[in-house]
Amino acid sequence: MNNKKVNLGKKGISAIVATVLIILITVAAVTIVWVAIIPMVGDQLESGTICLDAVTQLQLADEGYNCVGANGDNVSFQIKRGSKSFDLIDVQILISVAGSTESFNLVDATTLYPDPMTVDKLPNANEKRVFILDTSSVVDGADIDGITIAPIVVVGNTEKTCESSSSMVLKEC
């Protein structure tokens, strides 16, 4: 018997072809990361930056306007906005009532002041505004403990409710 290996038509790929394939696979992987992952990370960074600006710039002002009406049917509060530019489209108002929370969006809420028909309710840059929110339909005369606000901003083409920016314990007016 002959101990020679018999080549049955099997051929390997050359070193050049293998190197080209590895380079093509690497380029394809980098392209996938560039197209899919980088925009997601960029959107998250933009969202975080805008919300950070909004949270630091939108506060409840403590100048004597923050209180609850005598029978709990309205809440008065003052919002101040700093000078940084961000696209504020609404403010979420969270009213603490006997251990639970009732949520209002300022643009849609029934305000006694400013008038409900006022188009531009939100404070502009470097501005303070007093609001009197009608809570009679939701709160039902219960004890209102406090108020928290959270800015709602535009990030890209979507609305984003940021974390709460300011809280305050409310006393009777």
Domain that holds residue 148: 56-172
Residue 33 forms part of a structural domain: no
- Structure tokens belonging to residue 26: 């690497």
Calculate mean pLDDT across residues 56-79.
Answer: 91
Residue 43 forms part of a structural domain: no
Distance set, CA 65 to CA 31, 52, 90, 121 (Å): 56, 26, 20, 17
The model's pTM: 0.73
Question: Measured between alpha carbons, how far is 9 from 1 in angstroms, rounded to an integer?
Answer: 21
In the chain, the number of structural domains is: 1
Distance set, CA 173 to CA 4, 64, 77, 130, 140 (Å): 104, 9, 11, 14, 18
Identify the residue with better confidence: 173 or 117.
173
- Tell me: the pLDDT tens digits for 91-147? 999 999 888 898 999 988 888 888 776 767 899 999 999 999 988 877 666 688 899
CATH number at residue 95: 2.60.40
Residue 26 forms part of a structural domain: no
Residue 91 forms part of a structural domain: yes
- Other Cβ atoms within 10 Å of 55 Cβ, number: 19
Residue 23 forms part of a structural domain: no
Q: Using pLDDT thresholds of 50, 70 and 90, give the confidence band for residue 168.
A: very high
Residue 48 forms part of a structural domain: no
Residue 150 forms part of a structural domain: yes
Q: Using pLDDT thresholds of 50, 70 and 90, give the confidence band for residue 40.
A: confident
Residue 42 forms part of a structural domain: no
Identify the residue with better confidence: 100 or 6.
100
The number of C-alpha atoms within 13 Å of 147 and in the hemisphere containing its C-beta is: 28
